[in-house]
Structure 1
Amino acid sequence: MHFAGWMLCALLTLVAPFAHAGTLVIESWRVDDKALWEKVLIPAFQRSHPGIDVKFAPTAPTDYDGRLAARLADGSAGDLVACRPFDASLSLYAQGHLERLDGKPGMQYFEPGAMVAWQTAGGKEAFCMPVASVIHGFMYNKAIFRKYDLQAPRTVEEFFRVLDVLKKNGVAPLALGMADGWEASQLVFTNIGPNFWRGEAGQKALADGRARLTDPPFVDALRFGARMGAYLPAGAATQTYGQSQAMFATGRAAIYPAGSWDIARFSSAPGLELGVFAAPVKKRGDACFISDHMDLGLGVNRASKNKQDAFKFLAWVGSQEFADIYSNRLTGFFTLSNHLIAMRDPVAKQMVEWRNSCASTVRLNAQVLHRGQPSMESVLWRVNADVLKGTLAPEPAAARLQRDFDRWYKPPQP
């Protein structure tokens, strides 16, 4: 080999470790976050990692699972994969599509409790990095509360006294409809329920077969929903989620059973002075529990041809910088890392601080309890809607839930 050829080979050898295998592609269902990723998050990453190109390529939420599975199967999926909590991502890992992440840079910033939605049984293997959760509670119109000298309720009876005052004064107490199906379950039952069944302890008791959905804590949660039904707006059965949002945003209702993802929408609503309170406990002094639902993780496609850069990006997602940007720019989506984040939005700050005084739990059916048919998710939607409408009493509602659960679920034997 002549000298020039030798020099070229030597230069290529020196450059090769620093070369990049092409654009990193991030798969996600969060279409609404595209501008945040393209204009804020990716540029922030590239400031400390120049030369690594990143593309955020979301798919509509309703199509994401199926299309991602197809792309993973035919080898066309992106390098990084947005992970839904629990079984959906566990299935991808079991099929060999996701890298094991234990010990990878960035994973050290997540406590064991933040990891459970993206680990195998017993926490043996992690397959996605936790990114964010959403928290449930109740939003309220501060101006309406001041007008009637009302305080944010802390107990169940205080909550219903507030609803009584509002109703007697001709104010719609609640902006809540049931047309979309999920509201009665996720905005009511699994929002207030943890204070009755004591969060993770109740979920685990069901999973272990030590509790049944006909037990008092679960029936009491249904009774709460039945009582709420008397304060719903006219036409609640056909009122959509969007109509409920508009009703609250324009001051036509005083209280909105909510998820933290709605903070940004209502914080910018003209004339709305937004307040928030946690799901009420049975009596003052009781331990409190909040639905702090793990929403999003991020994994590495095992078939990625750009794995080195993918792990660099994942390490950055575990950083303080990412947690700060994500939690403050995507208001209402809270980092699951142990970094201390100064929340700038006052309502978001109040909600995330509930973690300091209340125990967090995921939605009742999120883990294990929804795997069969009929799924607990679909049954909870129907049953809770009927309870709110007043067409099904709490006790038979609980019996129906347990009957459908018994059709497929067999608790593990000791």
Structure 2
Amino acid sequence: MRYRHALISSALTSLGLGLALVAGSAFADDAVTLKLGSWRTEDIAVWQDKVLPAFEAKHPNIKVEFAPINTNEYNAAIQSQIEAGAGPDLLTCRPFDVNREWIGRGYFEPLADFDGMKNFAATSQAAWTDAKGAPFCLPVAAVLAGFYYNVDIFKELGLEVPKTQDEFIKVLQKIKDNGKYTPLAYGSAESWQLAYNGLYNIGPAYWHGEDGRLGLIDGTKKLTDPEFVQAFAAFAAWKPFLPAGQASLQYADMTQLFTLGKAAILPDGSWDINQVTATGLNVGVFGPPASKDGDKRYLQEMPDMAIGINKASKHKDAAKVFLTWLASPEFQEIYVNEAPGFFAMSNQPVTYKNELAQKFADLKKGAQLTPRLALDRLSAGNPPLDDEIWRVLQTMMIGDDVTPEKATAELQAGLASWYAPQKK
């Protein structure tokens, strides 16, 4: 995972009269076909059966072809196509460093003057801007991270949803003492999710979300600062509550352990909603606990994907009409309800039909939102901080030799070896 029915007149009005006239002359008489590149092959039915028919019903002279490429091949394939002067008209955009590299190579049409961007706050746009903050992709969806829990197990054991780290550990201890269920369906075989569903999930409560993340970026914070060490320690505190053989437990195994009713809590992302509810389990969700009573709540909201216009496209006017529709609640409600666990990023209200998705979305209320710690600039060099965190967390959670202090010191040394702001 490395990772709506707007009127056509209102769409054209939002683009401005000038674009409406250009659009009319450019493709009112002859149909235009746009190609949309994406890495989400699992979304073929969503786009082909739901999204694109809704758009084309209002724009019969603009056809859109959804052309996904396998996730692991997408970046290289798109780069090869565009460098050859080709590529799809519309590009699905990776967040942060990868996209910033593509912006630097001139792949995208600038969107600073695109009216649809007004529906998205600066924080929603940030994953797809250049170094000066200018936008190049329209935000489409984000994912959240939290904790799924078995409601029936909680009722059976008389447990309350924890709101602080101390309460969380006490809940885990009660489950362990009961002996009937595994407290946490969690393992260390796949290192990516130790970061994304573990440390990056609870860590913002300690490094204070954007204060800590941006502090690492500008060099005013270091990974060896107390707040980062405390975050690693809070994550390491999960170890006594993991299942036997957790070192070899893979991501799919974790989900299965939970869905079979053998574990009480699953730290995971919103993207797994369909999987965790597949067996009809009575599932609830709670957000990452605050570090202590009275502290602010933080929630990982990871910008997952956006869509931009290929600067070499011959159909930019049609592409902007499509992007305008993507900025509308009509598209957003279709997409988030056909792909539950993905969340709209605009400032316009969206209704989630999936009950668990709505509960996940409700966690955003009153919480400080922050993306994953190490994907913005901090992983653009060698060694990339995100990859290093995966590696170090795995050694910390599998053995006893790597303490939170040693882990953060090793990570800081690696980051400071190449990232200029951390060399101060």
State the TM-score, normalizing by the size of structure 1: 0.93
Question: Which of 142, 151, 154 is the equivalent residue of 1:142?
Answer: 151
Q: Given the alignment of the two structures, is residue 255 of structure 1 paired with residue 265 of structure 2, yes or no?
A: yes
Larger Rg: 1
Q: Cα offset for 1:181?
A: 1.8
- 1:241 matches 2:241: no
1:207-246 to 2 correspondence within 5 Å?
207-246=217-256
Alignment counterpart, residue 324 of structure 2, candidates 306, 310, 315: 315
Look up the equivalent residue of 1:321 and give its one-letter code. Answer: E
* Distance (Å, rounded) in 2 between the aligned partners of 1:20 and 1:412: 55
CA drift at 1:37: 0.2
What are the residue-to-residue correspondences of 1:46-61 with 2, within 5 Å? 46-61=56-71
| Correspondent of 2:406 among 392, 396, 405 | 396
CA distance in 2, matches of 1:93, 1:41: 27
Asked if 1:377 corresponds to 2:386, the answer is yes
Q: Tell me if 1:101 matches 2:115.
A: no
Q: Deviations over 1:194-225 (max 9, x none)?
A: 00000000111122222211111111111112
- The amino acid of 2:108's aligned partner reads L
Residues 54-133 of structure 1: matches in 2 within 5 Å? 54-123=64-133, 125-133=134-142
- Helix, strand or coil: the match of 2:321? helix
Letter in 1 for 2:322: F
Q: Retained in 2: the 8 A contact 1:20–1:309?
A: no
Tell me the SS of whatever aligns to 2:330.
Answer: helix
2:209 is matched with which residue?
199
Counterparts of 1:284 and 1:319 in 2: how far apart (Å)? 39
Classify the secondary structure of the residue corresponding to 1:356.
coil
The one of 158, 166, 178 aligned to 2:188:
178
Q: Is the 8 A contact 1:174 1:253 kept in 2?
A: yes
1:153 and 2:175 correspond: no
Shift in CA distance, 15/90, structure 1 to aligned 2, threshold 3 Å: closer
Q: In 2, distance between residues paired with 1:388 and 1:224?
A: 12
How far apart are 1:317 and its partner, in Å? 0.4
Matching residue of 1:336: 345
Please say if residues 78 and 304 of structure 1, whose CA atoms lie closer than 8 Å, have aligned partners that are also in contact.
Answer: yes
The CA distance in 1 between the partners of 2:29 and 2:128, in whole Å, is 31
Say whether the 8 Å CA contact 2:150–2:284 is kept in structure 1: yes
Q: Percent identity?
A: 39
Letter in 2 for 1:362: P
Q: Give the RMSD, CA atoms, in angstroms.
A: 1.7
Query: Aligned AA for 1:149?
Result: G
Q: How much does 1:355 deviate?
A: 2.1
The residue aligned with 2:14 is none
Partner Cα distance (1:395, 1:412) in 2: 18
Match status 1:169 vs 2:178: yes
CA contact 2:197–2:267 (8 Å) conserved in 1: yes
Stretch moving more, 23-32 or 206-215? 206-215
Kindly provide the amino acid, as one letter, of the partner of residue 208 in structure 1: D
The corresponding residue for 2:5 is none
Structure-2 residue corresponding to 1:44: 54
Deviation at 1:90, TM superposition (A): 1.6
- Give deviations 1:238-284, integer Å, cap 9, x for gaps: 111111111111111111111110112223x2231011110011212
Map of 1:27 onto structure 2: 37
Return 19-28 or 291-300, whichever deviates more: 19-28
**Secondary structure in 2 aligned to 1:291?**
strand
| Counterpart Cα distance in 1 of 2:138 and 2:191 | 31
Q: Displacement of 1:412 after TM fit? A: 8.0
* Kept in 2: contact 1:41–1:322 (CA 8 A): yes
**Which residue type is aligned with residue 326 of structure 1?**
Y
The residue that corresponds to 2:20 in the other structure is none
- Residue identity opposite 2:217 in structure 1: A
Contact 2:27–2:61 at 8 Å: present in 1 too? Answer: no
Partners of 1:23 and 1:16 lie apart in 2 by 12
User: Any stretches of 5+ residues in structure 2 without a counterpart?
Assistant: 1-23
Residue 393 of structure 1: how far off its partner (Å): 1.1
Partner Cα distance (2:336, 2:318) in 1: 24
For 2:279 and 2:218, the matched residues in 1 are separated by 49
Cα distance in 1 for residues equivalent to 2:98 and 2:138: 15
**Superposed CA offset, 1:268-322 (max 9, x none):** x223101111001121211111110111000001111222211111111001101
Distance 1:214 1:89 in 2: 29
Distance 1:271 1:17 in 2: 49
Contact 1:142 / 1:274 at 8 angstroms: preserved in 2? yes
1:38–1:15: structure 2 CA closer, same or farther, 3 Å change rule?
same
Displacement of 1:135 in angstroms is 0.7
How much has 1:15 moved relative to structure 2? Answer: 7.6
Aligned residues: 399
Aligned counterpart in structure 2 of residue 281 of structure 1, from 286, 290, 303: 290
